[in-house]
């Protein structure tokens, strides 16, 4: 039975959040005896990803304080936030323009356009940073037309996870939780969730996963040393440590989740799960680790697996 089957809602927007936790027993076996590894199934959101949470909070806050009224929402995105903006914009009657690198997956381009969103493409050579710069330029050129929320700097991004993701994890696991592991992208998930968990107990360890190299194949994740650092990334007192992750480790973890758990997820989820496995292995018996599965794997059919050694 679907998680939402007995609910009555007024809009698809009301289906965002309250996603289930799934126990990853095959991953636990690799981590060692006496550990628990759980993953938040964010692909259960109606837009298919964790980014539904931040997009909803950004839009609702923008409407509440008047910044978005009568304007087109414009932002940069590598894909999932764009899908979320597009879905929520369609549901609430808000026009959306997205700036994204030209090499994002075809599926994400097609999905966002299906909602009626206008797409503007930045150079694939400049990655997500190039999309950020172009979105800023367009918003600055026509401030009367565009509302530029800038998901990388908007406090509504971590706020969504403080109010939602973190609180939901605590309701499910409470004082049993020992570690939270999540990837570094916009950093909203780890900052907001981490802050909520640390308020509950300073003993909970928060671990941030990032690509181990600037030339990586983990779409949606940032190698901070070589990227524009999001202003919402304020790790002091929240993030206990950072864990470097290779593209191959993440891809392999995603493959194994599909084959061993029947959970078909994207490569950022693979990075998170590989990180959670490493954290549980280091922490040992009695550790209860939670991570996030940001989206489904069907948005990553291109490039194909056998192309990964040269597409980056």
What's the pLDDT score for residue 229?
92
What's the pLDDT score for residue 89?
98
The CA distance from 177 to 65, in Å, is 36
The pair of three-digit structure tokens given for residue 137, joined into one six-digit string: 């330029």
Report residue 122: phi and psi, to 5°.
Answer: -100, 175
Domain ranges, ordered by start, for the chain: 12-45+164-307, 51-147
Domain 12-45+164-307, CATH:
3.40.50.1100
What's the pLDDT score for residue 128?
74
Helix (H) or strand (E) holding 97: strand 96-101
SS3 content of the chain, % helix, strand, coil (to 5): 45, 15, 35
Contact in structure between 35 and 287 (CB atoms under 8 Å): yes
Contact in structure between 294 and 183 (CB atoms under 8 Å): yes
- 61 C-beta neighbours (distance < 10 Å), count: 17
The CA distance from 290 to 19, in Å, is 13
Residues 6+ apart with CB under 8 A from 99: 74, 75, 76, 77, 120, 121, 122, 131, 134, 135, 138
- 285 C-beta neighbours (distance < 10 Å), count: 9
User: What CA–CA distances, in Å, run from 3 to 111, 160, 168?
Assistant: 23, 20, 14
> Domain 51-147 belongs to what topology?
Rossmann fold (3.40.50)
pTM for the predicted model, two decimal places:
0.90
Find out whether the peptide bond into 61 is cis, omega within 30 degrees of 0.
no
Q: Is 51-147 the same fold as 12-45+164-307?
A: yes
pLDDT (tens, 9 = 90+) of the chain, 312 residues, equals: 345 557 799 999 999 999 999 999 999 999 999 999 999 999 999 999 999 999 999 999 999 999 999 999 999 886 788 999 999 999 999 999 999 888 877 777 888 999 999 999 999 888 777 888 999 999 999 999 999 999 989 999 999 999 999 999 999 999 999 999 999 999 999 999 999 999 999 999 999 999 999 989 887 888 998 888 999 999 999 999 999 999 999 999 999 999 999 999 999 999 999 999 999 999 999 999 999 999 999 877 654 343 344 333
**159-186 burial string, b = 16+ CB within 10 Å, else e?**
bbbbbbbbbbbbeeeeeebbbbbbbbbb
**208-236 burial string, b = 16+ CB within 10 Å, else e?**
bbbbbbeebbbbbbbbbeebeebebbebe
User: What CA–CA distances, in Å, run from 285 to 31, 37, 178, 259, 307?
Assistant: 10, 12, 11, 26, 39
**Cα atoms found within 13 Å of the Cα of residue 278, Cβ hemisphere only:** 20
């Amino acid at each position: 039975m679907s998680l939402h089957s007995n609910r009555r809602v007024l809009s698809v927007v009301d289906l965002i959040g309250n996603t289930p936790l799934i126990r990853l027993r095959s991953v636990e076996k690799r981590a060692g005896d006496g550990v628990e590894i759980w993953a938040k199934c964010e692909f259960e959101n109606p837009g298919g990803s964790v980014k539904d949470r931040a997009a909803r909070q950004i839009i609702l806050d923008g409407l509440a304080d008047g910044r978005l009224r009568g304007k087109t929402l414009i932002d940069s995105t590598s894909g999932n936030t764009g899908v979320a903006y597009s879905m929520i914009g369609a549901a609430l009657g808000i026009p959306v323009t997205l700036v994204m690198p030209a090499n994002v997956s075809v599926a994400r381009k097609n999905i966002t356009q299906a909602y009626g969103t206008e797409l503007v493409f930045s150079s694939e050579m400049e990655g997500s940073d190039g999309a950020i710069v172009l979105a800023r330029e367009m918003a600055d050129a026509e401030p009367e037309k565009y509302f530029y929320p800038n998901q990388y700097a908007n406090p509504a991004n971590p706020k969504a996870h403080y109010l939602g993701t973190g609180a939901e994890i605590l309701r499910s696991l409470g004082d049993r939780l020992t570690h939270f592991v999540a990837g570094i992208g916009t950093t909203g998930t780890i900052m907001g969730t981490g802050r909520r968990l640390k308020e509950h107990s300073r003993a909970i360890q928060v671990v941030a996963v990032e690509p181990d190299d600037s030339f990586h194949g983990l779409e949606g994740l940032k190698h901070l040393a070589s990227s524009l650092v999001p202003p919402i990334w304020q790790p002091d007192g929240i993030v206990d440590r950072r864990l470097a992750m290779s593209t191959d480790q993440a891809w392999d973890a995603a493959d194994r989740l599909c084959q061993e758990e029947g959970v078909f997820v994207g490569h950022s989820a693979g990075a998170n799960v590989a990180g959670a496995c490493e954290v549980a292995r280091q922490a040992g018996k009695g550790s209860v680790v939670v991570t996030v599965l940001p989206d489904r794997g069907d948005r990553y059919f291109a490039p194909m697996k056998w192309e990964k050694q040269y597409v980056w």
